[in-house]
Chains A and B, each alone.
Chain A
Amino acid sequence: MDRYLVPLVMVAAAAGCAPELPRELAIEGRFSDEETALLVEAIDEANHRLGRLVGHPVIYYDGRIHDRDGFSFEDFDDDRHVVYVFDPDSREYDWTGEVAEPGYVGYATLADVLIEHLDDFGGDRARFRRVALHELGHFLGLTHNPDPDSIMYSGPKPDTLTTYTHADLRAFCLAHDCIREP
């Protein structure tokens, strides 16, 4: 399988799919202190698990920013990468649900990351953190993984899952220049 996947990923990486590491990422000020701490924890986890593969951090936390208007699609175009609040009352949320899949709790591109408030997860801190790890994976250039036990699986994930799995690490090393085996 890797015989086909590796060249494909290499071509995609050469075309600009895999971003250059490390990347800077700020957090929107509308997140509470508790939510911000969870997001920074997720960034630390990405640096710990993925950073050791490439020999340096993969994400630098770039502080909190205050965007008065909240997120809009135009924010994808600025040069600053931010974790924004994914507001279920926003038109962006409605539109994304229409064109992609309803019921999203997070969304990410190479430009920005969107995550709902912790309250929208029913206060489930572990699930909030899992979603943050998943979206950070997208921000680092990972796509969905068919392995249902993987953080990058598109569907619901096991409650016991707390970090990137071997399948995620292997996918990461297909897109980036790893100096260690996953």
Chain B
Amino acid sequence: MDRRRHLTVAALVALALAVTGRPAPAAAQDPYQGWITPAPATTPAPAPSPSAAAPSAPARPPAIDVRLGIAGGGAPLLGELSGPVATTTARMTVAALVRLRVPRVSWRILEVYAVWPHGVGITLQNEDLRLGAVRLHLLDVGLFYASAAPVTVQRLERRWDLTLGAGMEIDLPSRLSLTADVRLFAPLDVFGVVTQHGDAARLVGEEIARGAQLWTGISYRW
């Protein structure tokens, strides 16, 4: 009696999964498939037989996805400004970063990073687009605390910066990922800069834009 009940429940589960169109991923398939990212429409539904019921449940993505990485780069676009002010922006920087995902719950990524030798920051990223192993986060917003010195426009003495950026991750086998990020560091007190500098605030803006840091790196994921 019990055996028949189990078989019935398994068949009902298989039928429900077939109706919702959720595929049964292979072992090598993306573990996020069917959870956060939409399932491909072309995947055939498994037959509602008792033998197919057990492997038809999609693999659950990890509860927490942590990536630890290191990246380096600089400001490739930084050149002479259009006005009579010398640039005071870091040309080369190295960053260590930790990215935390809770993939069953949210698309968002929380990043904590340190830029040597400037300070530490926190960024909220959205995983906007996924193309196979490539993940794009296109609007990263965060705060940076310049414990030693600001990354851009160091002539403005300040502790807090607003950061804006975008980036890409490419997942490789063996838990490695390549990362590429571009990040702007602007004084958090933007209004104060404009009132203090008047027209010359344009030069601050120009230096912020040209001083955007382009980082490439590698990360390891758990």
Which residues of A are in contact with B by a Cβ distance under 8 Å? Answer: 15-17, 72-74, 76-77, 90-92, 94-96, 99-100, 107-111
Contacts and interface: CB of A to CB of B under 8 A. Distances in A.
A16 B199 contact: no
B155 A77 contact: yes
B203 A110 contact: no
Contact of B156 (A72, A77, A99, A109): A77
B199 A99 contact: yes
Interface residues of B, number: 18
Interface string B50-86: 0000000000000000000000000000000011110
Interface stretch (B2-10, B23-31, B36-44, B190-198): B190-198
Contacts of B192: 16
B183 to A, nearest CB: 23
Interface of B: 82-85, 155-157, 189, 191-192, 195-200, 202-203
A16 B82 CA distance: 28
Contacts of B198: 107-109
Given A77-B155, A77-B156, A99-B202, A72 B84 contact: yes
B200 A76 contact: yes
A109 B85 contact: no
Given A15-B191, A16-B191, A99-B202, A73 B84 contact: yes
A45 B199 CA distance: 27
- Which residue among B85, B192, B198 has the maximum number of chain A CB atoms within 10 Å of its CB? B198
A92 B85 CA distance: 9
A111 B213 CA distance: 29
Chain A to chain B: the 7 pairs with minimum beta-carbon distance, closest first = A91-B84, A109-B198, A111-B196, A95-B83, A73-B200, A110-B195, A100-B199
A164 B83 CA distance: 34
Contact of B84 (A17, A95, A107, A108): A95
A12 to B, nearest CB: 9
A16 B195 contact: yes
27 contacts: A16-B192, A17-B191, A17-B195, A72-B85, A73-B85, A73-B203, A74-B155, A76-B197, A76-B200, A77-B155, A77-B156, A77-B196, A91-B84, A94-B84, A95-B82, A95-B84, A95-B200, A96-B199, A99-B202, A100-B199, A107-B198, A109-B195, A109-B196, A109-B198, A110-B195, A110-B196, A111-B197
Nearest to B197: A76
Contacts of B191: 15-17
Nearest to B83: A95
A110 B198 CA distance: 8
A76 B196 contact: yes
Contacts of A16: 189, 191-192, 195
